[in-house]
Amino acid sequence: MATIICPENSSPVADAEALRKACEGWGTNEKTIINILGHRNAIQRKLIREAYEQQYQEDLVRRLEKELSGHFEGAVYRWILEPADRDAVLLNVCIRKASRPDYNVIIEMACIQSPEQFLAIKRAYHLRYKHSLEEDLGQQTSGHMRKAITFSLCLIRSTYIQQLNK
Q: What is the pLDDT of residues 22-48, one digit of tens each?
A: 988 788 899 999 999 988 888 899 999
The sign of the torsion formed by the CA atoms of 59, 62, 67, 68 equals positive
Q: Maximum distance among all alpha carbons in the chain?
A: 59
With 80 as the cut, is the pLDDT of residue 72 above it? Answer: yes
pLDDT tens-digit readout, 51-69: 999 999 999 988 988 888 8
- Identify the structural domains of the chain with CATH numbers, from first to last: 12-80 (1.10.220.10), 83-165 (1.10.220.10)
CA atoms within 13 A on the CB side of 25: 7
Q: Among 89, 11, 74, which residue's Cα sits nearest to residue 44?
A: 11
With 70 as the cut, is the pLDDT of residue 2 above it? Answer: no
- What is the reported pTM? 0.70
Give the single-character DSSP code of 93.
I
Give residue 1's pLDDT band: very low, low, confident or very high (50, 70, 90).
very low
